[in-house]
Amino acid sequence: MTRSLTKFGLTVLMALGSIAAWAGYAYNFPTPVTPIAHETLHMHNLVMVVILILFFVVFALLMYSFYTHRKAVGFKAVRFSAPTSRKQWLWVLSPFALLFVIDYAVFGIPAFHAVMMYEDTKTDAELVVKVTGSQWLWQYEFPAEGVSYTSRLITPRAQIDNSEAKGEHYLLEVDNPLVLPVGKKVRFITTSNDVIHSWWVPAFGVKRDAVPGFLREFWATVEKTGTYRGQCSELCGKEHGFMPVVVNVVTQEEFAKWLASKKLADVKAADASPAVTPPAMAAATPVIQATGKSVALAKAAL
Ligand SMILES: [Cu+2]
């Protein structure tokens, strides 16, 4: 007894001692910034409220029954295997009917609406972004604008190896974030160059697998400017934890400026170093090359 108490005490102390390490964890969803994320949070809250009410009601009834109908040891219980009276049938069928209504009407209809929003296949997007996963970086392409670049982790190796203090955005910082205009409907198309990855930004409420050989889509209209961070969420190899997603959502004017500067940088880079990629390699990995040809290929693929 004393030993188990000591063990329990030690466990509690260890749990309390690790509170500092919990600081990075949030208990709720990140603040939603897209219609889909709002809908998802609403669904989550609705389900939580309903199941909590059900839990407390059922638990209270159970405790009440245990207490009120308790019998002394040796009492011979009635044995039956199916409802025999109308009253018993009522007690069997009414919870079934209640759960049926809750499942289909209270959860089913809003869930259906949320899924339909997520699977929106209308082609009224104001901007198309192609996201290609690669071991272990993301490539972003704006096919219509002819802009394409890669986005890699910039957290120093020393921080990962614990020989330096970890920064504020440890493992969630990149060299070239994806830049999007606020309030515009953006259609994302995901694919991969090698294995399955998954592009995920929690505040957008979207996550889509990037599957080699497939183009998969989703959309998002971000309502607030800011920097949003996410991660690859499909185990894709030894550096899966080192391919974060960072999205800078800016005003329309800032986006236009950024796009123009990106195009200019591409033109300068192309002038400075004419195509050096061997043709065979270029054909094998068309989406990773930021050349006019790859953009044409990407456009054809869309
Ligand atoms: Cu991954």
Task: Report the pLDDT value the prediction gives residue 290, as an integer from 0 to 100.
Answer: 39
Calculate the average pLDDT of the chain.
Answer: 83
Pick from 41-55, 73-87, 211-225: least confident: 73-87
Task: Report the pLDDT value the prediction gives residue 143, as an integer from 0 to 100.
Answer: 92
Is the sign of the CA dihedral 61, 65, 66, 67 positive or negative?
positive
Q: In percent, how much of the chain has pLDDT > 90?
A: 47
Task: Report the pLDDT value the prediction gives residue 282, as an integer from 0 to 100.
Answer: 41
| CA gap 73, 237 in Å, rounded | 60
| CA gap 213, 279 in Å, rounded | 20
Q: Which amino acid is at 55?
A: F
| CA gap 37, 187 in Å, rounded | 15
Task: Report the pLDDT value the prediction gives residue 3, as an integer from 0 to 100.
Answer: 67
Q: How far is the CA of 71 from the centre of ligand 1 (A)?
A: 58
Residue 178: its H or E element: strand 178-181
- Is the per-residue pLDDT at 6 higher than 80? no
Q: Is residue 147 within 8 Å of 83, Cβ to Cβ?
A: no
- Is the per-residue pLDDT at 285 higher than 50? no
Task: Report the pLDDT value the prediction gives residue 295, as an integer from 0 to 100.
Answer: 41
Q: How far is the CA of 236 from the centre of ligand 1 (A)?
A: 4
- Is the per-residue pLDDT at 283 higher than 50? no
- Is the per-residue pLDDT at 229 higher than 50? yes
Q: How far is the CA of 271 from the centre of ligand 1 (A)?
A: 34
Q: Which domains, ranges and CATH numbers included, belong to the chain?
A: 35-68+80-118 (no CATH), 127-273+280-301 (2.60.40.420)
Nearest 5°: phi and psi at 149?
-160, 170
Q: Is residue 106 within 8 Å of 50, Cβ to Cβ?
A: yes
- Is the per-residue pLDDT at 299 higher than 60? no
Task: Report the pLDDT value the prediction gives residue 102, as an integer from 0 to 100.
Answer: 83
Pick from 203-207, 258-262, 285-289: least confident: 285-289
For 156-191, how does the pLDDT look when each residue is reduced to its tens digit (9 = 90+)? 989 989 998 988 999 999 999 999 999 999 999 999
Q: How far is the CA of 210 from the centre of ligand 1 (A)?
A: 10
Residues with CB in 5 Å of ion ligand 1: 197, 232, 236, 240
| CA gap 246, 152 in Å, rounded | 10
Give the model's confidence band at 213: pLDDT under 50 very low, under 70 low, under 90 confident, else very high: very high
| CA gap 110, 50 in Å, rounded | 14
Q: How far is the CA of 291 from the centre of ligand 1 (A)?
A: 26
Strand order in the sheet with 216-221: 147-151, 137-142, 127-134, 185-192, 216-221
Q: How far is the CA of 232 from the centre of ligand 1 (A)?
A: 4
